[in-house]
Amino acid sequence: MWRYLKRLLIGKPLKTTDEGGQALTKFKALALLSSDALSSVAYGTEQITTVLITLSAAALMYQLWVAALVLVLLFAITLSYQQIIHAYPSGGGAYVVATTNWGQPAGLVAGGSLLVDYMLTVAVSVTSGTDAIISAIPALSAHQVGISIILVLMIMGMNLRGLRESASLLTLPVYFFILMIFIMIGWGIFEIVTGHVAYHASAAVGAPVQGMTLVLFLRAFSSGSSSLTGVEAISNAVPNFRKPKSHNASATLAIMAAILAFFFGGITFLSYYLGIKPMADNTVLSQIGQAVFGHGLIYYLLQLATAAILAVAANTGFSAFPILAYNLAKDKFLPHAYLDRGDRLGYSNGIISLAIGAIFLIVIFHGKTSLLIPLYAVGVFVPFTLSQSGMIRHWFRVREGKWQLKACINFLGAFISFALVVCLFFLHFPNVWPYLIVMPAVIYMFYRIHRHYINVAHQLRVSEDSDAVNHQYDGATVIVLVSDVTQVTAHAIDYARSVGDYVIAMHVSFDENPRKEHKTAQKFKVEFPDVRFVDIHSSYRSIITPTLRFCDVIAKRANERNFTTTVLVPQFVPRRPWQNVLHNQTALRLRTALNTRQNIIVSTYSYHLKK
């Protein structure tokens, strides 16, 4: 039943040779990997105005200067990540760049930041999408967390079906949003030029604003820079592109940056010109849409497009997180399960882990986008700083082409990114302090996992002086665990005789029915007179403890005679999988307990039932 349900939801398995068909064209990659960055214009300008309005309505004039500085940073970051795409085409983005140029600790900081940030990407995107839905349908406000969780599960299921199908499904909402924003900005500017829309700005450009400080400006800038989240996703997912991978990825990044710059600049200009003020129950983008289109059909189409892209923007995280987790797992800093491909050739374990992390964040922060965004921005700009400063070292090392100019571009991006990180910590500390707890914990986890893999590799490595090569055993003792005398027992004893020099049958008896236990012992001796039968009494109805004690004693004696000790656990296997729930799992518990013993080999004898 589970297999059929899985096929219905995810689809039939794909062959490994089908992987080439899963590669992305620029058209589909723009939908799959740019939705996060493009959707951020729905809340980027709002974050700026929310900070500035705390001083006065006149201070909203500064949103134009903040937006201009954000666009400068976008230009520097885009050029920097284009260079990263060509210099490090294997993917991994900031993690690979920081590791190569700054060393493993810096790489782990970048990688850990991005792992957490992709979870925040999903959480912010779906909660923002839910906000857009609630702006249009206020009656749903009480169900914000539930709606967000449902959206995460839907996007997870879509990604488990594979890159090609998820990209195909995302094409419509992403390009629909692009079309609607182009129409809104274009029509809004046309209305301004033709004089149909009056000038409602609270203050003229350049007018002095009483009480305006550099600190407030930097707070607005650090908040508005959330519009640049998701720009790095394309550099992390270069292996997913069609050949030539680097060229296609770089071109997609340039297209995305151009659209993002136009959208962010246009929305900020309209927000200023129309005198839009942030409201708790109506987003800035929604207010612009109302001013430009009125409350007609086109306004609701804009809200639908906004909600759709904010919901699917989470897909950027689902595309980039598994690749980053793969790179970390390849370097032995995450479990090797993240190296495995699922039935649809995607890294399913990474996709599922991301969904679980995002749902956890949504619940913890009660689905509030405003609480998530500062932490979200820190998770982005720490890797930005490390990757762009790493690229400066890269150019000084390789000295290729116009490396001086490229290094200057990276320096500009690194400097602004670092300044943003400082601003975020000093000006938004109440919202970003969890980063200082989460990141050390993540780095500690990385090193513990890495140490484990190094120790395992060292212990499993075969060398000429290894005990595993030179040691020879003289015989084998086999302990067969017996619950009753059945066909399973008979076949297990027969198998034990074929592989062991000395066979012992062990049975655990209880106080509940001593007569039955006595009959079991007698019946066994009649059936197998040449096999030693040991009955261990348990007054506390425990099977595990007496079994372990007996096996430990036998294993110690066998080791003194240079014998191996094998514990054979018989079990019957029902014909249908669902029938397993009708039987206890004693064999499973015994194997789990016995596997903790270093000098005992655990084996299972499975007897398959016919009906």
**Closest to 511 (Cα-Cα) out of 532, 544, 536, 480:** 536
User: Helix, strand or coil for residue 237?
Assistant: coil
Q: Any residues with CB less than 8 A from the CB of 476 and at least 6 apart, and which?
A: 499, 500, 501, 502, 563, 564, 565, 566
The predicted pLDDT at position 470 comes to 53
**Closest to 189 (Cα-Cα) out of 95, 272, 258:** 272
> What tokens were used for 503?
């066979």
- Do 475-608 and 23-453 have the same topology in CATH? no
Q: What is the CATH number of domain 23-453?
A: 1.20.1740.10
The predicted pLDDT at position 603 comes to 92
The predicted pLDDT at position 472 comes to 64
- Contact criterion met (CB below 8 Å) for 536 and 507: yes
- Contact criterion met (CB below 8 Å) for 316 and 37: yes
Instruction: State the Cα–Cα distance between residues 154 and 148, nearest whole angstrom.
Output: 10
- Give the chain's residues under pLDDT 70: 1-23, 91-92, 135-136, 162-169, 311, 342-346, 367, 369-371, 462-473, 511-513
The predicted pLDDT at position 137 comes to 76
Q: Any residues with CB less than 8 A from the CB of 195 and at least 6 apart, and which?
A: none
- Contact criterion met (CB below 8 Å) for 320 and 118: yes
Residue-wise pLDDT tens digits, 273-315: 888 888 877 788 888 888 888 888 888 898 888 878 876 777 7
Instruction: State the Cα–Cα distance between residues 122 and 120, nearest whole angstrom.
Output: 5
Q: 605 phi and psi, to 5 degrees?
A: -110, 115
Instruction: Give 164-168's long-range contacts (Cβ < 8 A, gap of 24+).
Output: 164/21, 164/22, 164/24, 164/28, 165/11, 165/344, 166/32, 166/315, 166/318, 166/319, 167/24, 167/28, 167/29, 167/31, 167/32, 168/28
- Packing angle of the helix pair 104-136, 348-364 (nearest 10 deg): 60
Identify the burial level of 249 via C-beta atoms within 10 angstroms of its C-beta, where 0-12 means exposed, 13-18 middle and 19 or more buried.
Answer: buried
**Closest to 177 (Cα-Cα) out of 71, 39, 299:** 39
The predicted pLDDT at position 474 comes to 76
**Closest to 129 (Cα-Cα) out of 113, 144, 117, 139:** 144
Residue ranges covered by each domain of the chain: 23-453, 475-608
The whole-model pTM stands at 0.70
Instruction: Give 65-68's long-range contacts (Cβ < 8 A, gap of 24+).
Output: 65/217, 66/217, 66/220, 66/221, 66/224, 67/224, 67/264, 67/265, 67/268, 67/269
Instruction: State the Cα–Cα distance between residues 387 and 393, nearest whole angstrom.
Output: 10
The per-type count for the chain, helices as H runs and strands as E runs, is 25, 5
C-alpha R_g of the chain = 32
The predicted pLDDT at position 5 comes to 57
Residue in this structure with the two tokens 């982005």, named with its chain if needed: 380
As beta bridge partners, residue 533 has 505
Count of alpha carbons within 13 Å of 166, Cβ hemisphere only?
33
Torsion 432-433-434-437 (CA) sign: positive
- Please state which architecture CATH assigns to domain 475-608: 3-Layer(aba) Sandwich (3.40)
As beta bridge partners, residue 504 has 479, 532
Instruction: State the Cα–Cα distance between residues 566 and 594, nearest whole angstrom.
Output: 10
Instruction: State the Cα–Cα distance between residues 576 and 572, nearest whole angstrom.
Output: 12
The predicted pLDDT at position 21 comes to 46
Per-residue exposure over 347-367, b if at least 16 CB sit within 10 Å of its own CB, e if not:
bbbbbebbbebbbebbeebeb
CA 126 to the chain's CA centroid:
15
For residue 341, what are the CA distances in angstroms to 168, 177, 348, 598? 20, 32, 6, 32
User: Helix, strand or coil for residue 584?
Assistant: coil
Instruction: State the Cα–Cα distance between residues 329 and 319, nearest whole angstrom.
Output: 16
